[in-house]
Amino acid sequence: MFGIDSPELLIIAIVALVVIGPKELPGMLRSWGKWMAQMRGMASEFRGHVDEMVRQSELDEVKKQLEAAPGLDLQALDPTKEIKSALQEGMAEGEKAVADAKTSFDNPLAEPESAPQIAAEAPPSVAPAAQDDKPKAVAAG
């Protein structure tokens, strides 16, 4: 760590103990630890920003290479145009169907396109009852 070996680190600790004192040394080490954590966080954030700038520059380079490629049309590769055209076609078909339905409802006297054909058959006739409903008297004898 920073080219400091164990004996040198021991000498620094003894000097810090004598100069700072045993009472303030734990608080000083705590504040030094917090300061180091803040420095690491700032270094990590800086590294993240630098990495993002590098990625962005790489993306810009790739975009320039794609635009410079002969015969490659990036606008033709855009799928949103196909989706929009399909949606517009569907909307046009829907609007046409609504208009047709509206005209058929507006003109009730118009004959429907396919009216069901009913076969003309005579309804079955009801035959009169041939039996006499009165009970007959039984001769006693």
15 shares a domain with 3: yes
- Residue 68 belongs to some domain of the structure: yes
Q: What is the number of other CB atoms lying within 10 angstroms of the CB of residue 120? A: 5
| pLDDT for the residue numbered 139 | 56
80 shares a domain with 63: no
79 shares a domain with 13: no
Q: What is the number of other CB atoms lying within 10 angstroms of the CB of residue 20? A: 14
- Residue 25 belongs to some domain of the structure: yes
1 shares a domain with 32: yes
Q: What angle do CA 120, 123, 124 make, to 5 degrees?
A: 140
Tell me the pLDDT tens digit for each residue of 51-78: 999 999 888 888 888 777 777 666 667 7
34 shares a domain with 68: yes
- Residue 117 belongs to some domain of the structure: no
19 shares a domain with 59: yes
- Residue 115 belongs to some domain of the structure: no
- Alpha carbon 123 to chain centroid, angstroms: 63
Tell me the pLDDT tens digit for each residue of 88-129: 999 999 999 988 888 877 776 656 566 556 665 655 555 555
60 shares a domain with 4: yes
C-beta separation of 25 from 17 below 8 A: yes
68 shares a domain with 6: yes
Domain that holds residue 36: 1-72
C-beta separation of 37 from 28 below 8 A: no
87 shares a domain with 62: no
Residue 123 DSSP label:
P
93 shares a domain with 27: no
Domain count, the chain: 2
66 shares a domain with 80: no
C-beta separation of 66 from 58 below 8 A: no
Residues 6+ apart with CB under 8 A from 81: 75
Q: Is the pLDDT of residue 26 over 60?
A: yes
CA dist., res. 15 & res. 93, Å (int):
88
Query: What pTM value is reported for the model?
Result: 0.36
90 shares a domain with 40: no
